[in-house]
Amino acid sequence: MSAEKTQPPPRSELQNLLSLYQNKHFNDAEKLALKLTQRFPYDQFAWKVLAIIHKYNGRMSEALALNKKVIEIDPKDTEAHYNLGNTLKELNKFEDAEESYKKAIKLKPDYAEAHNNLAIMLRELGKLEDAKISYQVAIDLKPDHTHAHYDLSQLKKFNKEDEQFIQMKNLYSNHSLSDEKLCYLNFALAKSSEDLDQLANSFKYYSQGNKIRKKLLNYNILEDIKQFDLLKKSNLIIKKNSFKNFNLSDKPSPIFIVGMPRSGTTLVEQIVSSHSNVISGGELLYVSQLGNNIATGKSNVSTQILMNFREKYLEKIRILSNDSPVIIDKMTVNFKYIGLICTAFPDAKIVHVKRNSAATCWGIYKRNFLTEGLRFCYDLNDIVKYYELYKDLMQFWQEEYGNQIYNLNYEMLTIDQKDETKKLIQNLGLEWEEKCLMPQDNKRRVSTASSNQIREKIYQGSSQNWKKFKPFLNGILDHLDD
């Protein structure tokens, strides 16, 4: 073995790698990391960067192997155990993920991020009381951990004497907070103020949080107007290359649950994944990652290209399926790619969930989403315009592929749960199981903004909650029809 391989990399190269990663130049960062791992195989840093990049790009198996390699090099690397936990969580290996987070915490008890991510996983698994404790530990260790403040605020009902509420109010006066931290804090204060029926303050905080988030994302609605136009124009060539006389019996069989965010898609996912033959993969980025250029006409289209898209997608979801014959992909904004999905997966089931439009738009405005594809969510005017784009595109898909789309009304589901659930399960070609009527008992992981609500029984009336904010909305949602 050469002496170089046992030496640490030059500081300048490590700084260059860190800079590329922090500035999200992931292709260049990956190339440099690969070179450094070959030259300096016993230095963990490049391996860790490579693992994180693979996880970001959805290459979970590679990320898993790389994280384990780092731990082989140094079993006491706390960040490696933390990163391994993050990867295991995405692979639905929850017990192993919990163990990895706890190992990181054992090695470094004051590791606030490990406590926070352990809390996130516990929340997603429905262990809400345990999650609250871990969030509080993260906040005690790092009082300005506003992401933890935000997540914890979604799990509790505030009163005026609540210590967290007082702490957040004091933190709000700290003018040294970054925009990102202040964004999370505003959303947390908005939720707590709403709990306290301080609606004017609540709306003020929602407005400030959304304004900051939109600025950070540098979003312009014209981006989506252009994309939606391309989706419709490009569909003709996609449809011309549909599969004929192919054996398309690959497993697992996907169910795509689509619709606007906050429209009830998580509840429907919870119902369907209660079935013994179904597992949920959650909100998967694979359709957009693999198919956006095809769907928008930015790349060539042929039957073989569509087949390749199908095979790559199936390869990704097999890793998550745990041998289940049916898997749910609940990336809501996959409604944009219905033409591509129906062509590449003529055997797949698509469930489109529709909710009261004003309730949907207001529900979007109240949330600070982590999903990168939801950049339109931080301005009420943008949300309303996007909603109109969505309605128009769904009408287009309905005319083209209506026989492959099952439309489910959220309000009807809450009013007549049993009948609507039975019709849904029948449409999906599944045998009826009574536990589909008890989605609150489903112990699966839920990573969306609705992770705590769906642990409760289905109830009516939630679509009217937005009306208490009508005095502050200047009529912006009043013209929306259902």
pLDDT tops 60 at residue 310: yes
CATH number at residue 44: 1.25.40.10
Residues 43 and 117 in one domain: yes
Residues 256 and 399 in one domain: yes
- Asked if the structure places residue 190 within a domain, the reply is no
Between CA 172 and CA 273 the distance in angstroms is 40
Residues 35 and 104 in one domain: yes
pTM of the predicted protein model: 0.86
Per-residue pLDDT reduced to its tens digit, 365-418: 999 997 767 999 999 999 999 999 999 999 999 999 999 999 999 999 999 999
- Asked if the structure places residue 211 within a domain, the reply is no
| DSSP characters over 17-36 | HHHHHHTT-HHHHHHHHHHH
Where on the phi/psi map is residue 459: left (φ > 0), alpha (ψ -120 to 50), or beta?
Answer: beta
Between CA 348 and CA 314 the distance in angstroms is 12
In the three-class reduction of DSSP (H, G, I as helix; E, B as strand; rest coil), residue 162 is classed as: coil
Q: Which of 153, 168, 183 is the last residue of a domain?
A: 168
Contact 406, 352 (CB under 8 A): yes
Residue written as tokens 């003709």? 236
pLDDT tops 60 at residue 481: yes
| DSSP characters over 63-116 | HHHHHHHHHHH-TT-HHHHHHHHHHHHHTT-HHHHHHHHHHHHHH-TT-HHHHH
CATH number at residue 324: 3.40.50.300
Residues 7 and 136 in one domain: yes
Residues 149 and 260 in one domain: no
pLDDT tops 70 at residue 456: no
The confidence score (pLDDT) of residue 444 equals: 58
- Asked if the structure places residue 107 within a domain, the reply is yes
Residues 340 and 425 in one domain: yes
The confidence score (pLDDT) of residue 449 equals: 46
In the three-class reduction of DSSP (H, G, I as helix; E, B as strand; rest coil), residue 351 is classed as: strand
Residue written as tokens 């950070």? 216
Neighbours of 15 (CB within 10 A): 10
Residues 159 and 236 in one domain: no
The confidence score (pLDDT) of residue 8 equals: 75
In the structure, what pLDDT confidence band is assigned to residue 320 with cuts at 50, 70 and 90? Answer: confident
Residues 392 and 303 in one domain: yes
- Longest CA pairwise span in the chain (Å): 73
| DSSP characters over 119-143 | HHHHHHTT-HHHHHHHHHHHHHH-T
The confidence score (pLDDT) of residue 248 equals: 63
pLDDT tops 60 at residue 193: yes
Between CA 423 and CA 432 the distance in angstroms is 10
Residues 159 and 238 in one domain: no
Residues 455 and 382 in one domain: yes
Which of 296, 282, 310 minimizes the C-alpha distance to 371?
282
| DSSP characters over 286-316 | HHHHHHHHHHTTSS---HHHHHHHHHHHHHH
**Which residue segment(s) compose the domain that 20 sits in?**
3-168
3-state secondary structure 128-189: HHHHHHHHHHHHHHCCCCHHHHHHHHCCCCCCCCCHHHHHHHHHHCCCCCCHHHHHHHHHHH
- Asked if the structure places residue 463 within a domain, the reply is yes
Here the tokens at position 402 are 């209506």
User: Exposed, middle or buried, 304 (CB in 10 Å: 0-12/13-18/19+)?
Assistant: exposed
- Asked if the structure places residue 175 within a domain, the reply is no
Residues 269 and 152 in one domain: no
Q: Which of 127, 153, 168 is the last residue of a domain?
A: 168
Residues 55 and 143 in one domain: yes
The confidence score (pLDDT) of residue 448 equals: 47
Number of domains forming the structure of the chain:
2
Helix spans in 345-409 (H): 357-365, 380-401
Per-residue pLDDT reduced to its tens digit, 87-121: 998 887 888 999 999 999 999 999 999 999 999 98
Between CA 18 and CA 25 the distance in angstroms is 10
- How confident is the prediction for the chain on average, in pLDDT? 90
Q: Which of 168, 187, 209 is the last residue of a domain?
A: 168
Here the tokens at position 328 are 């749910």
Percent of the chain with pLDDT over 90: 69
- Asked if the structure places residue 12 within a domain, the reply is yes
Which of 276, 274, 272, 279 minimizes the C-alpha distance to 253?
279
- Asked if the structure places residue 213 within a domain, the reply is no
- Asked if the structure places residue 468 within a domain, the reply is yes
Neighbours of 84 (CB within 10 A): 26
